[in-house]
Amino acid sequence: MKKYLILLVVALFFTAAKAFDKGEWTGFISDDKCGAKGNNKGHAACAKDCVKKGAKIVFVSGGKVYAIKDTKKAENFVGEEVTVSGSITDGVLEITKLVKKSE
């Protein structure tokens, strides 16, 4: 019984860690049409065009694509490399701070 209780606690710990990740990440504000391909400066014009045509704004970092909870916070940064502070829950980024990365 004790063995199962320990396994349950470990499983809950890893589930909670996966479901809620707070931190700071650097990446690109891009579009969901191109996804991870938008992880570079050369994609800026394409990302802006895709967003104008209805694609959703996303955050791309380390080859992973994250939906953004409140895209209004990222509208002026499409195509830009940024540093984002916030939390990620189930693949959705909630932004608390967003700053354009210095060149």
Q: What is the pLDDT of residues 13-41, one digit of tens each?
A: 555 445 458 999 999 999 999 999 888 88
Query: How far is the C-alpha of 43 from the C-alpha of 16, rounded, in Å?
Result: 34
Is residue 11 in a domain?
no
Phi-psi region of 90 (alpha: psi -120 to 50; beta: other; left: phi over 0): left
Does residue 14 lie in a domain region?
A: no
Tell me what pLDDT residue 39 has. Answer: 86
**Tokens for 15?**
């589930």
Phi then psi dihedrals of residue 24, to 5 deg: -135, 135
Is 16 a member of any domain?
A: no
The answer to whether residue 57 sits within a structural domain is yes
Domain count, the chain: 1
**Which pLDDT does position 3 carry in this prediction?**
62
Residue 96 belongs to what domain range? 21-100
Please write the tens of the pLDDT for every residue from 43-95: 999 999 999 999 999 999 988 999 999 999 999 999 999 999 999 999 999 99
Q: Which residues pair with 6 in a beta bridge?
A: none
With contact defined as beta carbons under 8 Å apart, do 61 and 27 qualify?
Answer: yes
Residues linked to residue 94 through DSSP beta bridges, in sequence order = 87
Q: Is residue 27 part of a domain?
A: yes
pLDDT of residue 16: 47
